Amino acid sequence: MTDERATLPSREPVIRIIPMPQDTNPNGDIFGGWIMSQVDLAGSVVAVQRIKGRMATVAVDSFVFKKPVYVGDLVSVYGNIIRVGKTSLTVYLEVFAERRMIGEFTRELVKVTEAEFTYVAIDDVGRPRPIPNAAE
Ligand SMILES: CC(C)(COP(=O)(O)OP(=O)(O)OC[C@H]1O[C@@H](n2cnc3c(N)ncnc32)[C@H](O)[C@@H]1OP(=O)(O)O)[C@@H](O)C(=O)NCCC(=O)NCCS
């Protein structure tokens, strides 16, 4: 596997969060479901700015846990829209962990996760509706 140490993207993260002990799995690392939840939330924040209204997550197109996340890491999720369809769009998400909150102040930065989520714009009764034009 390639070296996942990286520099943070120059744009702002969608969310930043520090996982707590209650977010761990039996190994003591951060539970993958917690990470998936944060990534879905971040993807929703990106998607709703284009969908402008009610929407639902329809698919996790890909999700790769590249490195573990630890209690006290500073976790940053970055996202951008990579596809816009008729009623759905896909968001590419990257998660980085700065391992600076535990032990020695190492400033180690690791890319821990990459994912793609698809969201559907829905109407009041949950049926797909067209995504508004970007300019609207
Ligand atoms: C989202 C939902 C309304 C879509 O309904 P549907 O009958 O599948 O709608 P369609 O088949 O017309 O597909 C709608 C869009 O979703 C896309 N889509 C559907 N299934 C997909 C899948 N498995 N992967 C990727 N995209 C998918 C379609 O390609 C279409 O996109 P487009 O209009 O841009 O081409 C319905 O599947 C649903 O309610 N799912 C549950 C959502 C949910 O509970 N999410 C978790 C909590 S948010």
Q: From the CA of 116, how far away is ligand 1's center (Å)?
A: 15
Query: Which residue puts its alpha carbon closest to atom 44 of ligand 1?
Result: 56
Exposed e or buried b for every residue in 32-54, given b needs 16+ CB within 10 A?
Answer: eebbbebbbebbbebbeebbeee
Q: How many angstroms does the Cα of residue 14 sit away from the middle of ligand 1?
A: 24
What CA–CA distances, in Å, run from 111 to 67, 68, 96? 7, 10, 4
* Residue whose CA is at the smallest distance from ligand 1 atom 24: 59
8-46 per-position pLDDT tens digit: 888 899 999 999 999 999 999 999 999 999 999 999 999
**Residues 97-118: tens digit of each pLDDT:** 998 655 665 678 999 999 999 9
Res 135: pLDDT: 78
Tens of pLDDT along 59-103? 999 999 999 999 999 999 999 999 999 999 999 999 999 986 556
Delineate the domains of the chain, giving CATH numbers in brackets: 15-121 (3.10.129.10)
Q: Which atom of ligand 1 is nearest to the CA of 55?
A: 48
**pLDDT at residue 102 in the model:** 56
* pLDDT at 3 (0 to 100): 46
